[in-house]
Amino acid sequence: MGKEKITRGNASQFFVAGELCRRGYSAVVTLGNTPNTDVLCSNIEGTKFVHIQVKTFVPGNRTCSVGMKAEKDFGDNFFWVLAGIPEPDSKSGNEYYIIPSSEMSKNIRRGHQAWLESLGKKGQKHNDNAVRAVDLPPRKSNSGWDISEYRDRWDLLEQKLKA
């Protein structure tokens, strides 16, 4: 993994935590010390929590890699945040897609199954592999999933954090 990809991924975790703090919550970056959780966020009282897995992409890319663990539903208080972090010289802002774990797992499993059942460019069967990715707007997945509805849906996290 290239140095730029690592630093962009680190930055995206801090951007997500910063956005949650800006909205009045307590958010910490786990620095890899908590399995499946990049950002742990609570209400100020510390009585409600959400776990966030952050995946990074460059805005304008066609997909965002999420890995096989995206097929697992980690529960109601687990979210994926796909964070679009632009190149340093870009005038574009950050993009965020906040997706509940249940939606991510269901759609990643369905999309991978649809891909396995379809034929490749030369008419060959696809071989199973560990690659799992989310198609980014304006694209839709081969199963028809469109994540546009999750753009800037911080309210989905906030519902879980209300005291």
Burial label, 87 (beta-carbon count in 10 A; 0-12, 13-18, 19+): exposed
pTM of this structure: 0.94
**Structural domain that includes position 123:** 3-161
Per-chain mean pLDDT for the chain? 94
Q: What is the mean pLDDT of residues 144-156?
A: 97
- What is the pLDDT confidence band of residue 32, given thresholds at 50, 70 and 90? confident
Look up residue 66 and give its two tokens: 């999420």
Q: How far apart are CA 149 and CA 153, in angstroms?
A: 8
Q: Is the pLDDT of residue 163 over 70?
A: no
Q: What is the CATH number of the domain that holds 70?
A: 3.40.1350.10
Q: What is the mean pLDDT of residues 21-29?
A: 97
Q: What percent of the chain has pLDDT over 70?
A: 98
SS in 3 state form for the chain? CCHHHHHHHHHHHHHHHHHHHHCCCEEEECCCCCCCCCEEEECCCCCCEEEEEEEEECCCCCEEECCHHHHCCCCCCEEEEEEECCCCCCCCCCEEEEEEHHHHHHHHHHHHHHHHHCECCCCCECCCCCCCEEECCCCCCCCCCCHHHHECCHHHHHHHHCC
Q: What is the mean pLDDT of residues 120-131?
A: 93
Into how many domains does the chain fold?
Answer: 1
Look up residue 86 and give its two tokens: 């632009």
Q: What is the mean pLDDT of residues 50-70?
A: 96
